[in-house]
A and B are shown apart, each in its own frame.
Chain A
Amino acid sequence: MVTIAVLLKQVPDTTARITVSDGRVDETAISTWVTSPYDEYALEVAIQHKEASGASITAITLGPPRADKVLKDAAALGVENLVRVWDDAWESLDSNQVQAALSTILEGVEADWIYCGKQSADRNQGSTGPGVAERLGMACIVEISDWDVTGAQPSFTRATSSGNERLAPTPPIVLTFTKTETELRRPNVRGIMAAKKANIEVVSADIGDAQVQVVAHNPPAQKPEGRKFEGAESVPEVVGLLRDEAKVI
């Protein structure tokens, strides 16, 4: 049987207001946490692949108990196996530790296809997919924007500087996905009822020591206040500023 693992990260809602308090992002002020949008595409491909092949899917997330929601959301869409990796002693993990934790779980899952987003919507590092592939000794294709998982040989398309390339990988392999025009499926009530009964396996892992320490988070600099011009007589001034100051014309 084909087995698929999909890596899902819980991130603040992409429209959530982020506040920084004492040099750290104040997570308690974030009202809505969601599945990282790129990971949602990975999940969509995984489900399409399952529908075509009868594969089983294991969704894996790394995070505190609140991250269970991304797994329950995945279960509502038809994912059978749910694993959350966490240790209460963990705080801010560096990329090496994240990859170590996920790789440990993936070694046990023995998935043929490992899907994840090309990067998370909060950290934007893009290191997890390639890093996990490296640790597992697998190849990795990143930023996939189209796919065909209906046949015996799935193929994946990614943009290159000279156009698109379509690739036919041999599993096991790690694939990362970017946003596409594909409409993501929504859960339904029956799926949510099934998710209610789904069991989440919580596991820990040996992740070693962090090499990277967060010194401080800083909010982005405030944008300078806009300037308002009125009347036709201000046109030459506006044009001048756009040309000489903003340098956009």
Chain B
Amino acid sequence: MTYEGVDFYDIESELTDEEKMVRDMARDWVEAEVVPNIEQACRDGVFPDEWRVALGEMGVLGMALDGYGCAGMSYVAYGLVCQELERGDSGVRSFASVQGSLAMYPIHDFGSEEQKQKYLPKMASGEWVGCFGLTEPDYGSNPGDMITKAVDEGDDYVLNGAKMWITNGTIADVAIVWAKLDGVIRGFIVEKDDPGFSAPEMTGKHSLRASVTSELVFQDCKIPKDRILPHVEGLKGPFSCLNNARYGICWGAVGAAQSCFHSAKEYALSRIQFGNPIAAFQLVQNKLAWMLREITKGQLLALSLGRKKDAGTWTPEQISLAKMNNVDMALEIARMARDIHGANGILDEYPIMRHMANLESVKTYEGTHDIHNLILGRHITGIQSFTREL
């Protein structure tokens, strides 16, 4: 049976033809290329290069941006693609999110015309890979205190510092690096061969194994003056990138949850205990009903947020709520699905444990679950709780 996804509230009827076509395109690719190969990629700890090529050929990299080789599709369409990619694996969605939302978007919105023309077409096609350097070893949730700095040395900027947990770092041709210039956070475009720049891969991960995670190290890294992003200063730059990436995550988590739900449903219908499929037991049905309920709510949340984004009316707090809620529910569904699968749930014959392990990362990156709670807490009370002096 062809995978059809969960659509309990007939979301299909609220999508345009183009959005459905793009969703189906991504779904078919994931079904044909990712699902059969993802476990091996995870065992090997690699992001297969042919997936980079395929994502570029499909045109999903930066697909919601306009011009410069980008398609200018709706953010709902982009979200649907994220959903399908993450049904395959969070690592695949992460690759596309980082490329489009974190590396291409800042060039598109904050870059010079020359920068846009130089980088965006090659990044849209997947020829060049981008990464995004904000988090540092000692500064995760509070990037405002970052210590990576840039110094104006006449014809060049010189960068010193280190970034950590950088998706795509080692395979990136282009890094968007946030560093302080005269105490103000600015964005810089660092190319892989720039002197003083290195991007060693981080190893030993139990999560996002089919994704490259790296450090970025800048030791007197010299870049030309025209590599600064001219049109943004301060945390607004990286945060606006993160908003877009968080939006992709809120759809992606729905995809991972659907994968776990689909597997749990199939397993429950075929696993016989006490002479009946375990799907016949009330406790199992309760779990499946909870999964369907949460997935449906997550879908509606994601679609609503996407329509707001396309209308230009979303707020950062709405993004926080959707990212936090959808990853949270997806992680819980993965755990519940593992329970339904019994011991079989720990095998890589099923996608459950892989999604579960991936979602532990997704829960933390792009704003941790708790930080998103604090953003909502600030919205509710008007009191900012995460920067107080103790």
| A188 touching B59, Cβ below 8 Å | yes
Tell me which residues from 38 to 75 in chain B have a Cβ below 8 Å from any Cβ of chain A.
Answer: 57-60, 63, 71-73
Q: C-beta contact mask, B11-34 vs A, less than 8 Å → 1, else 0?
A: 000000110011001001100000
Asked if B113 is at the interface (CB within 8 A of a chain A CB), the reply is: no
Q: Which of A58-88 contact B (CB under 8 A)?
A: 69, 72-73, 76
**A202 proximal to B (CB < 8 A):** no
> How far apart sit A15 and B2, CA to CA, in the bound complex (Å)?
6
User: A186: shortest Cβ distance to chain B, in Å?
Assistant: 6
- Chain B residues positioned under 8 Å from A23 (CB to CB): none
By the criterion CB–CB under 8 Å, are A189 and B17 in contact? no
Whole-angstrom distance between the Cβ of A36 and the nearest chain B Cβ? 15
A31 to B60: give the CA distance in the assembly, Å: 26
Q: Assess whether A193 is interfacial by the CB under 8 Å rule.
A: yes
B25 interface neighbour in A69, A188, A196, Cβ under 8 Å:
A188
Does A190 touch B at the CB level, under 8 Å?
A: yes
Complex formed: what's the CA distance from A193 to B22 in Å?
Answer: 9
Residue from B17, B57, B60 in contact with A196 in the complex, judged by beta carbons closer than 8 Å: B17
CB pair B18–A193 under 8 Å, yes or no, is yes
Q: How far is the CB of A105 from chain B (nearest CB, A)?
A: 23
Q: Is B4 an interface residue (CB 8 A)?
A: yes
Shortest B151–chain A CB gap in Å is: 41
What's the Cα separation between A32 and B7 when bound, in Å?
Answer: 13
Q: Is the Cβ of B73 less than 8 Å from the Cβ of A189?
A: yes
Q: Whole-angstrom distance between the alpha carbons of A71 and B274 in the complex?
A: 51
* Other-chain contact of B2, A32, A72, A189, A191 (Cβ < 8 Å): A32
Pairwise interchain contact B29-A187, C-beta atoms closer than 8 A:
no
Q: How far is the CA of A65 from the CA of B58 in the complex (A)?
A: 27
CB atoms of B58 and A186 under 8 A apart: yes
What's the nearest-Cβ distance from chain B to residue A196, in Å? 5
CB distance from A188 to the nearest CB of B (A): 4
Q: Which A residues, 27 to 42, have Cβ-Cβ distances below 8 Å to chain B?
A: 31-32
The reply to whether A187 and B17 form a contact with Cβ atoms under 8 Å apart is: no
Are B58 and A188 in contact, with the CB atoms below 8 A?
A: yes
Does A116 have its Cβ within 8 Å of any Cβ on chain B?
no
Return the chain A residue nearest B17 by Cβ.
Answer: A72
- Does any Cβ of A come within 8 Å of B343's Cβ? no
Q: Chain A residue with minimal CB distance to B21?
A: A192
User: For the complex, is A13 an interface residue (Cβ under 8 Å from B)?
Assistant: yes
How far apart sit A16 and B1, CA to CA, in the bound complex (Å)?
A: 7
| Chain B residues positioned under 8 Å from A43 (CB to CB) | none
| CB-CB contacts below 8 Å: A181-220 with B | 186-193, 195-196
Q: Which of A9-57 touch B at CB < 8 Å?
A: 13, 15-16, 31-32
A-B Cβ contacts below 8 A, count: 48
| Distance (whole angstroms) from the CB of B228 to the closest CB of chain A | 30
| CA gap between A191 and B73 in the complex, in Å | 12
Chain B's closest residue to A196 (CB) is B18
Residues of B within 8 A of A31 (CB): 4
B277 to chain A, nearest CB (A): 16
Across the interface, do A186 and B28 meet the contact criterion of CB distance under 8 Å?
A: yes
Complex interface: chain A residues within 8 A of B71 (CB): 189-190, 192-193
Assuming the contacts A15-B1, A15-B2, A32-B2, asked whether A69 and B17 have C-beta atoms less than 8 A apart, the reply is yes
Question: Within 8 Å CB of A69, what residues of B?
Answer: 17
Q: Nearest residue in B to A68 (C-beta to C-beta)?
A: B17
A195, B21: Cβ atoms closer than 8 Å? yes
* A193 near B73: Cβ-Cβ < 8 Å: yes
In this complex, which of B1, B21, B25, B72 has the most chain A Cβ atoms within 10 angstroms of its Cβ?
A: B21
A-chain residues with CB within 8 Å of residue B73 when the two chains form the complex: 189, 192-193
B60:A186 contact, CB within 8 angstroms = no
**Interchain nearest-CB distance for A37 vs B (Å):** 12
Residues of A within 8 A of B58 (CB): 186, 188-189
C-alpha spacing A191/B57, complex, angstroms? 11
Q: Which residues of B contact A76 (CB under 8 A)?
A: 21
Q: What CA separation (Å) do A204 and B4 show in the bound complex?
A: 34
Interface centre among A73, A191, A192 (most CB of B within 10 A): A192
A189 pairs with B63, CB closer than 8 A: yes
Beyond A186-B25, A188-B59, A192-B22, whether A13 also contacts B2 by CB under 8 A is yes
Q: Which residues of B contact A195 (CB under 8 A)?
A: 18, 21
Which residues of A lie under 8 Å from residue B77 when comparing CB positions?
189
Q: Which residues of A contact B72 (CB under 8 A)?
A: 193
CB distance from B310 to the nearest CB of A (A): 15
Q: Which residues of B contact A187 (CB under 8 A)?
A: 21, 25
Taking the nearest CB of chain A, how far is it from the CB of B286, in angstroms? Answer: 26
Closest CB in chain B relative to A231 CB, distance in Å: 19
Asked whether B21 lies within 8 Å of A72 as measured between CB atoms, the reply is yes
- Asked, given contacts A13-B2, A195-B18, whether A189 binds B60 with beta carbons under 8 Å apart, the answer is yes
B80 CB to closest chain A CB (Å) equals 12
- Can you list 17 A-B pairs with a CB-CB distance of less than 8 A? A15-B1, A186-B25, A186-B29, A187-B25, A188-B57, A189-B22, A189-B25, A189-B59, A189-B63, A189-B71, A189-B73, A190-B59, A192-B18, A192-B21, A193-B72, A195-B21, A196-B18
If A188-B57, A189-B71 are given as contacts, then 9 extra A-B residue pairs at C-beta distance below 8 Å, sorted by A number, are A16-B2, A189-B22, A189-B59, A189-B60, A189-B73, A192-B22, A192-B73, A193-B72, A195-B18
The 6 A-B residue pairs whose C-beta atoms are closest, nearest first, are: A189-B59, A189-B71, A188-B59, A192-B21, A15-B2, A196-B18
Q: Which residues of A contact B (CB under 8 A)?
A: 13, 15-16, 31-32, 69, 72-73, 76, 186-193, 195-196
